[in-house]
Amino acid sequence: MNIFNLLVPNAHATIMDDIRQAQPDSYIIQPGTTLASLFTGGGINLITLAFVIIGLLFMWNIIMAGWDYMMSSGDPKKVSSASTRFLNGFMGIAIAFFAFLIVNIITSMIGLGSLI
């Protein structure tokens, strides 16, 4: 018996149990989950989450660089700053992509499988 059953009448508790059983297990971290299974999709896929965040940061950086470029009014310093920001954004996404490839190659070599 858990504290939930003490606070909720039995009729509601069975409804909650039915709802809990209908939920997919892939979103719940099960007991005995290892770090390797988290990275390979046995729970929350941390690699996918990291790349979504990296992609959002890249898009924000490119949008802000475009804004800086539009607002530069022909000032050479501001144009140079915006161009540098564009270049840094593309270099960052390239580094993240190659890091992903290297990690995938190494994990497949040591037998963890693919991280996607």
Give the pLDDT confidence of 4-35 residue by residue, as tens digits: 555 555 555 566 566 666 555 555 556 666 65
The reported pTM is 0.54
| pLDDT confidence of residue 21 | 65
Long-range Cβ pairs for the range 112-116 (8 Å, 24+): 112/36, 112/39, 112/40, 113/40, 114/40, 115/39, 115/40, 115/41, 115/47, 116/41, 116/47, 116/48
- State which residues of the chain have pLDDT below 70: 1-45, 112-116
Structure tokens at 61: 């950086």
| pLDDT confidence of residue 94 | 93
| pLDDT confidence of residue 60 | 95
